[in-house]
Amino acid sequence: MCGIAGLMTRDGSPPEDSVLDRLASALVHRGPDGEGRYVKDGMGLVHRRLAIIDLEAGDQPLSEPDGAVLIANAEIYNYVELRKALKEVSFATASDCEPPLHLYRREGARYDAQLRGMYAIALYDPASDRLVLSRDPFGIKPLYYAEGSQGFAFASEPQALIAAGIVEPRINTQARNELLELQFTTGADTIFNGIKRVLPGETLVVSAGRIIDRHRRDALPGNDAVIEDPREVMSRLDAALNDSVTVHQRSDVPFGMFLSGGVDSSTLLALMAKLNDHPVLAFTVGFPGSGAHDERAHARMLTERVGAKHVDVPIGEADFWELLPEIAATMDDPVADYAVLPTYVLGRLAGQHVKVVLTGEGGDELFAGYGRYRSARRPWWLGGRIMRPRGTFDNLDVLRQPTTGWRDGIAAASALASSGGRTPLQIAQATDCADWLPHDLLLKVDRCLMAHGVEGRVPLLDPAVAAAAFPLPDRFKVNKGVGKYVLRKWLHEHLPEAAPFSKKRGFTVPVGEWIAGRGEQLGALVASSPGIEEICRPEGVTKVFRSSGKREGFAAWTLLFYALWYRRHILGQLPEGDTFEYLSAAP
């Protein structure tokens, strides 16, 4: 894993060293193990390295005999197989990122079709003076770009483009509305005017500082090979899970995992324990002294059962107030998901032990774990609902103006997903895979772990697993009202102590409880904060902070996060002091 950035000028003049310096400096946290740079004519590339594979000779940029160069924020899990297939190539390194370079020379801009992994790749071919940017189909690794007077610039994080002076930090109001109502933003547009995302699975071709071509690779398979026999379903799922976890453990540095005690992470624990001859290191977070359900005892029991090593990670209210400004600063592409707190703390502690962790993101999306999927299967007259029908601030009388258009991105994704003979359940799954997954869950993991130099890997978001899970008939996913049915069945067979069919309380963070305890003080501070006062009625803000209701609590959390985020990423205020000190300081 790494941080990448670059600039292609429109007139072919060399990019300024100072711009490349600022791009590299802004990404140091993503790659503390070294820096590489390439400048030729109008193209400048910078790379910050987090060394995971080929520790001695894997520095980037990588080059091939005909002159093409590559920088990547990537783990290519099938690099061993690709090396064997590229028999004519004399590889210069043992890096997993070298095969894509040679694939490009053979296949051109469609080289990405053979890649299995998580990646954001920038490849420059001086012979054609073309830059090629590619992002993995699930959008596990981020990549952003901006087209401006200087030319075409890209980076692993928007804040690097801002720090380099390529883009001014100005709010995109449509994206802000999405953030407030959805807790994440959709599509290519970010919350910053002028900064866009390379979409999951997308490849862009850039010449003379302008995009001249693009194509996109779908993460989800079609319904061509639907399996009906339960025994074959379980056999194929078992093979896919074992294969995925095996390749996701390819690493030259120690790795561990995050264990919540739920179905997805317990599945990873069972597989990792089986596939390793040393104890797996498992980190579990809990919130002692709060009303949140605590899974640590259950997780500890599971690790003892499989011979893993359990690391208990307690988080208290004091940690919340102390770390929140720092966390908001990390989330430059903002996600108002309160799980940023445990993810950030887990990343910080894990970084003291390992460089790589495996996590269970993607299980709910591929195996249909969310309650909204069960609703999506029903017609409207039986209680079925559209995806995300209500925004965070609906009927709370907080915002000065209604946030029009905040569902447009979700509606567009749903319309695009409604193809290929998909069932209503598959449409709901595909809609989440288009935006919720890459622009909330995976973005959160990327920023919170990379802030501490830790790489997060997600074995459930793998082509082999997607092929085994997504095309399944609905009854294998939701059975008698139970979601993730086939994955629960697999876990029951391989680690019954996980009790996958028992009724469980979902993972929660007690932010509502903590905010309510300080609501009077917080409400006044947030209501008068820059970025908040221009869009919210002060009395509406203070009212939700004083309320003990669940909806009001989440609205208060969203406003608190946005107030902190705005100070750092729009006003440039450094995250100094705890939440109250930060909000009280003059911006």
With a pLDDT cut of 90, the percent of the chain lying above it is: 85
Rg for the chain, CA atoms, rounded:
23
Domain extent, residue 541, equals 511-584
Q: Is the pLDDT of residue 54 over 70?
A: no
Is the same domain home to 198 and 242? Answer: no
Confidence of residue 382 (pLDDT cuts 50, 70, 90): low
Q: Per-residue pLDDT tens for 60-73?
A: 999 999 999 999 99
Residue (of 161, 177, 181) closest to 169 by Cα position = 161
The CA distance from 568 to 579, in Å, is: 12
Orientation of helix 550-569 relative to helix 519-527, angle to 10°: 50
**CA neighbor of 218 nearest in space, from 237, 203, 204, 233:** 203
Distance of alpha carbon 461 from the chain centroid: 11
Q: How long a stretch of residues is the chain?
A: 587
What pLDDT digit, counting tens, does each position of 214-255 carry? Answer: 999 999 998 876 788 999 999 999 999 999 999 999 988 889
Pair (175, 91) in one structural domain: yes
DSSP conformation class of 34: -
Question: Do 268 and 459 contact (CB within 8 A), yes or no?
Answer: yes
CA atoms lying within 13 Å on the CB side of residue 323: 23
Same domain, 147 and 284: no
- Does 163 have pLDDT greater than 90? yes
In a domain, 505, yes or no: no
The C-alpha atoms of residue 93 and residue 102 are separated, in whole angstroms, by 12
Task: Please say if the pLDDT value at position 57 is more than 60.
Answer: no
Q: What region does 224 belong to: left with phi over 0, alpha with psi -120 to 50, or beta?
A: alpha
- What's the order of all strands across the beta sheet hosting 356-358? 309-314, 281-286, 255-258, 356-358, 455-457
- Is the pLDDT assigned to residue 166 strictly greater than 90? yes
Same domain flag for 447 and 544: no
Can you give the pLDDT at residue 548? Answer: 84
pLDDT at 472 over 60: yes
Residue 225 lies in a domain: no
Q: Are residues 493 and 534 in the same domain?
A: no
Same-domain check for residues 42 and 124: yes
pLDDT recorded at residue 381: 60
Measured distance CA(139)–CA(444) in Å, rounded: 12
- Give the pLDDT of residue 50: 74
> Does residue 224 belong to any structural domain of this protein?
no
Pick 564 or 148 by higher pLDDT: 564
| Residue where a domain terminates, one of 216, 239, 254 | 216
| 504 part of a folded domain | no
180 Cβ contact partners less than 8 Å away, ≥ 6 residues apart:
336, 391, 392, 393, 399, 403, 406, 535, 558, 562
Do residue 212 and residue 256 come from a single domain?
no
Together in a domain, 202 and 292: no
Asked whether 5 and 153 are in contact (CB, 8 A), the reply is yes
Q: For residues 141 and 449, what is the distance between their CA atoms, to the nearest angstrom? A: 12
- Assess if residue 506 is contained within a domain: no
Residue 108 lies in a domain: yes
Do 486 and 545 belong together in one domain? no
Residue 2 β-bridge partners: 49
Helices of type H across 74-219: 79-85, 98-107, 158-163, 173-182
Question: What pLDDT is recorded for position 444?
Answer: 98
> Distance between CA atoms of 581 and 438, rounded to whole angstroms?
33
Q: What is the CATH number of the domain that holds 23?
A: 3.60.20.10
CB 477 within 8 A of CB 424: no
- Are 336 and 561 in contact by the 8 Å Cβ rule? The answer is yes
409 and 431 in a common domain:
yes
Residues 6+ apart with CB under 8 A from 197: 142, 143, 144, 187, 188, 189, 190, 333, 439
Predicted confidence at residue 452, as pLDDT, reads: 94
Domain boundary among 167, 188, 216: 216
Q: Which of 498, 523, 549 is the last residue of a domain?
A: 498
What is the total count of domains within the chain?
Answer: 3
Distance, first Cα to last Cα, the chain: 34
Question: Which candidate, 353, 351, 352, places its Cα nearest to that of 448?
Answer: 351
Contact call for residues 113 and 217 (beta carbons, < 8 A): yes
Residues 567 and 451 in one domain: no
In a domain, 503, yes or no: no
**Strands 356-358, 255-258: pairing kind:** parallel
Q: Decide if 400 is inside a domain.
A: yes
Assess whether 492 and 521 both reside in one domain.
no
CATH number at residue 488: 3.40.50.620
